[in-house]
Chains A and B, each alone.
Chain A
Amino acid sequence: MKKEDTVKLISAEGMEFVIDKEAAMVSQTIRNMLTSPGGFAEAEHGEVTFPEISAVILEKICQYFYWSLQYSRGKETEFHIEPELTLELMMAANYLHT
Chain B
Amino acid sequence: MGAACSRKRDQLDNVDGFDRGVSGRYCKSGSSKWLATTLSRPILEIQREKKKCPSLLELCTHKIREDIDNYVSFSTLPRDLSQQIFNELVKSQRLTDVSLEAFRDCALQDLYLGDYPGVNENWMDVISSQGSSLLSLDLSGSDVSDPGLIYLKDCVNLQDLNLNYCDQISDRGLKHISGLSNLRSLTFRRNSAITAQGMAALSGLVNLMKLDLEKCPGIHGGLIHIKGLTKLESLSIKWCNCITDADMKPLSGLTNLKSLQISCSKVTDFGITYLKGLQNLSVLNLEGCPVTASCFDTLSVLVSLLYLNLSRCNLSDDGCEKLSSKFHIYPFLVCRVKKVLRWPLTYGYFLLTELGNLKVLNLGFNDISDACLIHLKGLQNLKCLELSDTEVGSNGLRYLSGLCKLESINLSFTVVSDGGLRELSGLTSLKSLNLDARQITDAGLAALTSLTGLTHLDLFGARITDSGTSHLRNLKNLRSLEICGGGLTDAGVKNIKDLSSLSLLNLSQNCNLTDKTLEMISGLTGLISLNVSNSRVTSAGLRHLKPLKNLRSLTLEACKVTANDIRRLQSAGLPNLVNFRPE
Contact = CB atoms under 8 A, between A and B. Distances in A.
Interface string A60-75: 0100100010011000
Contacts of B571: none
Contact of B60 (A52, A72, A86): A86
A94 B53 contact: no
A81 interface: yes
A91 interface: yes
Interface residues of B, number: 23
A93 B55 contact: yes
Contact of A90 (B4, B53, B54, B81): B81
A90 B81 CA distance: 8
A6 interface: no
Interface stretch (B62-70, B177-185, B214-222, B445-453): B62-70
A43 interface: no
B1 A91 contact: yes
Nearest to A74: B51
B1 A81 contact: no
Contacts of B61: 90
B57 interface: yes
A83 interface: yes
B59 interface: yes
Contact of B56 (A72, A83, A87, A98): A98
Interface size bracket, A side: 20 to 34
A79 to B, nearest CB: 6
Nearest to A27: B56
Q: What secondary structure prevails in chain A residues at the interface with B?
A: helix
A40 interface: no
B370 to A, nearest CB: 63
A93 B63 contact: no
Contacts of A79: 54, 59
A34 B81 CA distance: 26
B51 to A, nearest CB: 8
B55 A83 contact: no
Interface string A18-58: 00000000000000000000000000000000001000000
A90 B77 contact: yes
A93 to B, nearest CB: 4
A50 B67 CA distance: 28
Contacts of A68: 53, 56
A89 interface: yes
B81 A83 contact: no
B53 A61 contact: no
A98 B54 CA distance: 9
In this complex, the member of A52, A79, A92, A96 whose beta carbon has the largest number of chain B beta carbons within 10 angstroms is A79
Interface string B349-386: 00000000000000000000000000000000000000
B245 interface: no
Contacts of A81: 59-60, 63
A18 B1 CA distance: 22
Contacts of B67: 83, 86
Nearest to A70: B53
Contacts of B78: 91, 94
Contacts of B57: 90, 93-94, 98
B53 A87 contact: no
B143 interface: no
Contact of B77 (A52, A87, A93, A95): A87
A54 B34 CA distance: 53
A91 B77 contact: yes
A81 B56 CA distance: 10
Interface string B1-15: 101100000000000
A61 B56 contact: yes
A89 B70 contact: no
In this complex, the member of B53, B67, B78 whose beta carbon has the largest number of chain A beta carbons within 10 angstroms is B53
Contacts of A64: 56, 59
A32 to B, nearest CB: 14
A95 B57 CA distance: 10
Contact of A83 (B3, B4, B70): B70
Contacts of A71: 53-54
B64 A90 contact: yes
Contacts of B54: 71, 79
Contacts of B59: 64, 79, 81
22 contacts: A52-B1, A71-B53, A86-B60, A86-B63, A87-B60, A87-B64, A89-B56, A89-B60, A90-B60, A90-B61, A90-B81, A91-B1, A91-B78, A92-B1, A93-B57, A94-B1, A94-B3, A94-B80, A94-B81, A96-B56, A98-B56, A98-B57
Interface of A: 52, 61, 64, 68, 71-72, 79, 81, 83, 86-87, 89-96, 98
Give the 10 A-B residue pairs with the shortest CB-CB distance, closest first. Answer: A93-B56, A90-B60, A95-B1, A98-B56, A93-B57, A71-B53, A81-B63, A64-B56, A86-B63, A52-B1
Given A79-B59, A90-B81, 4 more contacts: A64-B59, A68-B53, A91-B77, A93-B56
Interface of B: 1, 3-4, 51, 53-57, 59-61, 63-64, 67, 70-71, 74, 76-78, 80-81
